């Protein structure tokens, strides 16, 4: 088990790298978590953020580190988003992800990542569409949010024969098409619109 005194970013990063290397060699998940928790207990928040950065897409590594960062900085929106993202990638429930995203929004209403996770974490399809609408209204230039609104509205229309959702999906895809510049993007949007406009609900 690795549990060094990690008082600066360099030692914390080295300790985390060592823990990850041991995990990749032995595949001992429990030992990895114990090692990361030990490192986190002895490091400051800045050192943990730096140590976690190379593992943003590895929730089993980033999660335990950001849990400690959030303990140290409970109103740090970026840390809350990073932890929520780690939980989302790891398959944790939408409730815990949504709660963290909500805290991040309260701490920094301009944090777009927090709003995305808040919308993604909603399990009810109709409520999720409403959340994506809020995100696109708050961030009108956010093309990803607009695409996710269109996709979710189309799914709702198909699943529940919802004409209002279908109208919303078509309108949103048309908005995306009006902004699209790449030929492959325009072709995909045109195909989606042709399909949706052929639906008889």
Would you kindly state where each structural domain of the chain is located, as residue ranges?
Answer: 1-73, 74-121, 129-201
- Can you read off the two tokens belonging to residue 18? 């060592």
* pLDDT band at residue 129 using 50, 70 and 90 as cut-offs: very high
- Dihedral angle of Cα 61, 108, 104, 106, to the nearest 10 degrees: 170
Reported as a single tens digit per residue, the pLDDT across 45-100 is 999 999 999 999 999 999 999 999 999 999 999 999 999 999 999 998 899 999 99
- Dihedral angle of Cα 65, 66, 70, 73, to the nearest 10 degrees: 80
Reported as a single tens digit per residue, the pLDDT across 148-159 is 999 999 999 999
The pTM score is: 0.88
């Amino acid at each position: 088990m690795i549990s060094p005194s990690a008082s600066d970013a360099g030692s914390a990063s080295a300790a985390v790298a060592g823990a990850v290397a041991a995990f990749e060699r032995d595949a001992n998940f429990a030992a990895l978590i114990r090692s990361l928790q030990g490192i986190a207990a002895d490091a400051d928040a800045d050192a943990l953020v730096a140590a976690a950065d190379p593992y943003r897409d590895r929730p089993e590594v980033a999660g335990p580190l950001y849990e400690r960062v959030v303990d140290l900085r409970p109103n740090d929106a970026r840390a809350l988003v990073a932890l929520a993202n780690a939980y989302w990638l790891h398959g944790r429930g939408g409730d815990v992800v949504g709660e963290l995203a909500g805290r991040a929004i309260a701490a920094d209403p301009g944090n777009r990542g927090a709003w995305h996770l808040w919308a993604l974490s909603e399990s009810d399809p109709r409520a999720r569409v409403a959340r994506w609408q809020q995100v696109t209204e708050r961030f009108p230039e956010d093309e990803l949010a607009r695409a996710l609104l269109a996709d979710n509205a189309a799914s709702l229309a198909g699943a529940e024969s919802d004409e209002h959702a279908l109208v919303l999906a078509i309108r949103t895809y048309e908005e995306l098409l009006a902004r699209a510049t790449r030929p492959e993007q325009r072709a995909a949007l045109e195909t989606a619109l042709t399909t949706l406009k052929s639906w008889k609900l």
